[in-house]
């Protein structure tokens, strides 16, 4: 079978790579052509465009890059026609993917969507195009199944969250090995996860680092994002107790005492490693003002959304400042408060279901194609 896969972000690259591995177990003759990143490329197949060329964040940034986005859409359609896949698999990235899906459905291609667009948060009217253009939807958050099936009468497959597989299957290093190999002292570690894009890292990291001098008995370690080099981060690293480790986020979280985390998938990853955290978000002012008026959510972190309560503190826009950050960091370093985090995290893990998201999704896709063929 020929699989054309489109992901436009670092998380999509991770989940796409795991899905490709699972598809190879189902289909030894699987041939892949994809938009993704280094992890997908390591599995095999042909990388068409890297997600670093595609990730535009916020309303203003999208408007500024409309010409590039339009060119990419046109190129993608021609590339799909030339490849003529048995199925197109979309991974999140809805602004781009739903446009391709509309064209692809009309052109007669099979459209499968892995990791739903967050239409439960905003742009709920996208349900109309999903119903029209998507042949199968695979959701990874428990409340999404009810949202689609009860509210919108669109059947979906809840496959569990792929992060559970990714975390449980990782090669584990001992804490001693990790500290020794990366030049870290024996001080407790506070992990800083400022995001993956340059513009969000720039906004987030300077505030996160503003509290460093208050915590002399800790060391702060920045989780460097894939694709961002040391030179970019070096402008922020000016204290002796601040370190940078690139592409080692899971190892870092496995030995961290606490974490300051930019809103996104990283909040869930941090929770699955049972690390108490403060969730942070600060965006372009115009984009934030627009977003505040169109996003219909009580919370911004996946942890709170899944648990439907404020299990982790969220510091958003103006609240994300040095004073509030220090106050909340003191709380998550307190031994009594930390117990509450661990109880909530165990509850979270139960709701997410067990292992096997990639394998289940791959099986459903492959079997559906065999039925059709």
Strands (DSSP E) along 140-290, which ranges? 157-158, 189-193, 219-224, 242-246, 258-262, 277-281
Q: What pLDDT was estimated at residue 284? A: 60
With cut-offs at 50, 70 and 90, classify the pLDDT of residue 23: very high
Helix intervals (H) in 137-254: 142-146, 152, 162-168, 175-181, 198-209, 230-234, 249-254
Q: pLDDT tens across 33-72, in order?
A: 999 999 999 999 999 999 887 755 555 555 556 777 789 9
The helix/strand/coil state of 174 is coil
Q: pLDDT tens across 184-241, in order?
A: 999 999 999 999 888 889 889 999 999 999 999 999 999 998 778 888 998 888 878 8
**For the chain, what is the mean pLDDT?**
90
DSSP 141: S
Strand order in the sheet with 136-139: 46-50, 31-36, 2-7, 87-91, 111-114, 136-139, 157-158
Q: Quick one: average pLDDT of 111-137?
A: 94
Closest CA to 311 of 284, 351, 361: 351
Q: Quick one: average pLDDT of 131-158?
A: 96
Q: What pLDDT was estimated at residue 70? A: 85
Q: What pLDDT was estimated at residue 62? A: 56
Q: pLDDT tens across 238-288, in order?
A: 878 899 999 899 999 999 999 999 988 899 999 999 999 999 998 765 555
CATH of segment(s) 168-352:
3.40.50.2000
Cβ-count burial 354-373 (b if 16+ within 10 Å, e if not): ebbbbbbbbbbbbeebeeee
Query: Residue ranges of the domains in the chain?
Result: 2-160+356-372, 168-352
Q: pLDDT tens across 82-98, in order?
A: 999 999 999 999 989 99
Fold of 2-160+356-372: Rossmann fold (3.40.50)
Q: Quick one: average pLDDT of 360-370?
A: 95
Same fold, 2-160+356-372 and 168-352: yes
Rg (CA), the chain: 21
State yes or no: pLDDT of 373 exceeds 60: no
State yes or no: pLDDT of 155 exceeds 80: yes
């Amino acid at each position: 079978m020929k699989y054309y896969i489109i992901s436009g972000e670092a998380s999509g690259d991770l989940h796409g790579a795991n899905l490709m591995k699972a598809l190879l177990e189902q289909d030894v003759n699987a041939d892949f052509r994809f938009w993704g990143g280094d992890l997908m490329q390591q599995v095999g197949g042909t990388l068409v465009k890297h997600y670093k060329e595609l990730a535009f964040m916020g309303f203003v940034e999208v408007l500024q890059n409309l010409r590039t986005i339009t060119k990419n859409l046109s190129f993608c359609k021609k590339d799909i026609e030339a490849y003529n896949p048995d199925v197109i698999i979309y991974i999140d990235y809805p602004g781009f993917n739903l446009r391709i899906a509309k064209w692809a459905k009309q052109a007669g291609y099979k459209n499968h969507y892995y990791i739903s667009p967050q239409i439960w948060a905003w742009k709920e009217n996208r349900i109309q195009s999903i119903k029209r253009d998507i042949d199968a939807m695979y959701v990874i958050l428990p409340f999404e199944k009810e949202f689609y099936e009860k509210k919108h009468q669109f059947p979906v497959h809840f496959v569990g969250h792929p992060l559970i597989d990714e975390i449980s299957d990782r090669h584990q290093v001992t804490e001693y090995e990790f500290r020794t190999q990366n030049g870290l002292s024996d001080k407790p570690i506070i992990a800083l996860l400022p995001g993956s894009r340059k513009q969000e890292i720039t906004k987030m990291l300077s505030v996160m680092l503003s509290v460093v001098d208050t915590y002399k008995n800790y060391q702060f370690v920045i989780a460097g994002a894939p694709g961002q080099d040391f030179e970019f981060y070096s402008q922020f690293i000016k204290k002796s107790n601040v370190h940078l480790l690139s592409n080692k986020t899971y190892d870092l979280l496995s030995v961290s005492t606490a974490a300051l985390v930019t809103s996104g998938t990283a909040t869930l990853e941090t929770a699955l490693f049972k690390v108490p955290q403060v969730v942070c978000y600060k965006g372009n002012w115009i984009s934030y003002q627009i977003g505040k008026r169109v996003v219909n959510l009580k919370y911004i972190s996946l942890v709170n959304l899944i648990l439907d309560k404020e299990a982790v503190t969220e510091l958003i826009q103006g609240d994300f400042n040095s004073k509030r950050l220090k106050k909340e960091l003191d709380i998550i370093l307190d031994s009594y408060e930390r117990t509450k985090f661990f109880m909530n995290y165990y509850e979270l893990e139960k709701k997410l279901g067990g292992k096997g998201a990639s394998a289940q999704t791959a099986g459903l896709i492959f079997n559906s194609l065999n039925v059709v063929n």
